[in-house]
Amino acid sequence: MSDYWIRASEISNYLYCRRSWWLQRQRGAASRNVRELQKGRRYHQRHGRTVWQAVWLRRLAYVVLFVLLAFVTFQLITR
């Protein structure tokens, strides 16, 4: 039994080009499209930061909404 894990990106590579996957895995051949891979990596990092910001902004909006509703409720009760 091998301790080598097959990642999702490897499955994608295999489905796209079996020969390329085999060359990378068995022969250790480097990709020729290094520039495109780096651009893709930077894009995914930017996208990940955008998603992270969106999640925190949504949480902040919920907190603000809760505080506003609590304030309005308190104002209505104390009249």
For residue 61 the two structure tokens come to 């909006």
CB 28 within 8 A of CB 36: no
Label residue 75 by pLDDT band (50, 70, 90). very high
pLDDT digits (tens, 9 = 90+) for 4-43: 788 888 888 889 888 888 888 888 787 788 898 889 889 9
Count Cα neighbours of 70 within 13 Å in the Cβ-side half-sphere.
6
Domain boundaries, the chain: 1-30, 34-79
Model pTM score: 0.55
Token pair, residue 40, equals: 């893709």
